């Protein structure tokens, strides 16, 4: 058992309190490799933003849990070396069992998500309460979820979504003791968040998705005042990355995300954590494809992963400054 406190990490409690009061959201960026980690820390140090480093169960299998833990510890040291000690949370994204949450806590995670959103309500409550009971003994914070997001990722896959039912949130929070709650208001995972037939087209012919359900968010806020809300599936799928990918041998058709103005609006409300993974994947892929396409003789991974890291850093700075509003809040 290693405590996250020994690793220099923090849980989400104080960060969410400040984010709520200051009307901004903490960035939750997924990572599974060194370049992503470097980009995240460089961006957060430069903007003086707190950060949540998220690890999915797929990422944990891919990168190895021991390596990830040392990377997170290294991230805290790296931030100091770069000149600013940003608060870093190491968070399990979409934990699907008590055992996985327990194992992550034992490995030094400071926050876990227990995602029982696809279970019947009572089972979701039971599972989340069990995780909270264990996690709080170690001062680890817990995120629960009500409502199902659509979309497909490695290990997070749902064909259809169901919006969060505001009438359930108060009971859920009371019975489980979770520290934050992920809700479903129309976001979804991955780069294909909406079917073209759900969208309209703008003057340039780009797909414009239906707006998020701010009415549900408002109703949730009314029922659990002051409680930190989390938005998953919050990538915006920047069309310039899609274009670069497609111009360099890729094939992403009808990829569409959540408009950034809507996320900005959400960040000013009770939403204290915004999850972004797919946009980072697009930024990296665009940079790698461009280098390899323009320089076919290149075979040093640093020559394409370096530019990918720099593009990622640019993206993260943009999100922090222009979307989440977490710059200078560390």
* Backbone φ/ψ region at 178: left (φ over 0), alpha (ψ -120 to 50), beta: beta
Q: Minimum Å distance from CB 189 to ligand G3H?
A: 5
Instruction: Determine the interface stretch with ligand G3H among 52-60, 104-112, 217-225, 300-308 (rule: CB under 6 A).
Output: 52-60
Dist. CA 259–CA 194, nearest whole Å: 12
Q: Is 144 in the site for ligand 13P (CB under 6 A)?
A: no
Among 50, 74, 95, 190, binds ligand 13P (CB under 6 A): 190
Query: Is 82 within 8 Å of 41 (Cβ atoms)?
Result: yes
Q: Minimum Å distance from CB 299 to ligand G3H?
A: 27
Residue with tokens 């998220």: 54
Catalytic position from the list 93, 96, 179, 279 = 93
Nearer to Zn ion, 30 or 262 (CB): 30
Enclosing H/E stretch for 272: strand 271-276
The Cα angle at residue 141 between residues 320 and 261, in degrees rounded to 5: 25
Q: Is 59 in the site for ligand G3H (CB under 6 A)?
A: yes
Q: Segment 207-266, which members bind ligand 13P (CB under 6 A)?
A: 232-235
**Residue-by-residue DSSP string for 210-265:** PPP-HHHHHHHHHHSTT--EEE-S-----HHHHHHHHHTT----S-B---HHHHHH
Examine the residue annotation and report whether 277 is marked as an active-site residue of this protein.
no
Dist. CA 143–CA 114, nearest whole Å: 6
The two structure tokens encoding residue 136: 């709080």
Nearer to ligand G3H, 153 or 290 (CB): 153
Q: Is 187 in the site for ligand G3H (CB under 6 A)?
A: no
Among 113, 156, 231, 271, binds ligand G3H (CB under 6 A): 156
The two structure tokens encoding residue 195: 């079917």
Dist. CA 37–CA 84, nearest whole Å: 16
Nearer to ligand 13P, 94 or 329 (CB): 94
Instruction: Determine the interface stretch with ligand G3H among 51-59, 163-171, 221-229, 300-308 (rule: CB under 6 A).
Output: 51-59
Q: Is 30 in the site for ligand 13P (CB under 6 A)?
A: yes
Query: In the 3-class helix/strand/coil scheme, how is 9-65 assigned residue by residue?
Result: CCCCHHHHHHHHHHCCCEEEEECCCHHHHHHHHHHHHHHCCCEEEEEEHHHHHHHCH
Residue (of 328, 235, 268) closest to 28 by Cα position: 235
Q: Segment 215-254, which members bind Zn ion (CB under 5 A)?
A: 232
Q: Is 143 in the site for ligand 13P (CB under 6 A)?
A: no
Q: Is 56 in the site for ligand G3H (CB under 6 A)?
A: yes
Among 35, 96, 115, 277, binds ligand G3H (CB under 6 A): 277
Residue 327: helix, strand or coil by DSSP?
A: coil
Q: Is 93 in the site for ligand G3H (CB under 6 A)?
A: yes
Q: Minimum Å distance from CB 278 to ligand 13P?
A: 4
Q: Segment 55-114, which members bind ligand 13P (CB under 6 A)?
A: 93-94
Cα 208 to Cα 118, 185, 256, 272, 296: the distances in Å are 28, 17, 8, 25, 36
Q: Which residues are catalytic?
A: 93
- Which residues contribute to the site for ligand 13P (CB under 6 A)? 30, 93-94, 189-190, 232-235, 275-279
- Which residues contribute to the site for ligand G3H (CB under 6 A)? 30, 56, 58-59, 93-94, 153-156, 189, 232, 277
- Which residues contribute to the site for Zn ion (CB under 5 A)? 232
């Amino acid at each position: 058992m290693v405590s996250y406190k020994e690793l220099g990490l923090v849980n989400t409690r104080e960060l969410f309190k400040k984010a709520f009061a200051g009307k901004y959201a903490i960035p939750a960026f997924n990572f599974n490799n060194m370049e992503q980690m470097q980009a995240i820390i460089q961006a957060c140090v430069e903007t003086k933003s707190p950060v949540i480093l998220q690890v999915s169960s797929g990422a944990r299998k891919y990168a190895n849990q021991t390596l990830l833990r040392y990377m997170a510890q290294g991230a805290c040291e790296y931030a100091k070396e770069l000149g600013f000690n940003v608060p870093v949370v190491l968070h399990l994204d979409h934990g699907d069992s008590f055992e996985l949450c327990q194992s992550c806590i034992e490995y030094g995670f400071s926050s876990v998500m227990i995602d029982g959103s696809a279970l019947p309500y009572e089972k979701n409550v039971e599972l989340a309460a069990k995780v909270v009971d264990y996690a709080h003994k170690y001062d680890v914070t817990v995120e629960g979820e009500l409502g199902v997001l659509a979309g497909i990722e490695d290990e997070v896959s749902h064909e259809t979504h169901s919006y969060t039912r505001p009438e359930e949130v108060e009971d859920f929070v009371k019975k489980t003791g979770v520290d934050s709650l992920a809700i479903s208001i129309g976001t979804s995972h991955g780069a294909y968040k909406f079917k073209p037939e759900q969208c309209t087209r703008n003057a340039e012919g780009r797909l414009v998705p239906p707006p998020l359900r701010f009415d549900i968010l408002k109703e949730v806020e009314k029922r659990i005042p002051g409680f930190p809300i989390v938005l998953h599936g919050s990538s915006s799928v920047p069309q310039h990355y899609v274009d670069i990918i497609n111009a360099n041998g890729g094939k992403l058709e009808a990829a569409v995300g959540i408009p950034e103005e809507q996320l900005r609006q959400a960040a000013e409300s009770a939403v204290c954590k915004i999850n972004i993974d797919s946009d980072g994947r697009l930024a990296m892929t665009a940079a790698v494809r461009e280098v390899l396409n323009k320089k076919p003789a290149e075979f040093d991974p640093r020559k394409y992963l370096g530019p990918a890291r720099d593009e990622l850093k640019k993206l993260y700075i943009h999100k922090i400054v222009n979307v989440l509003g977490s710059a200078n809040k560390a």
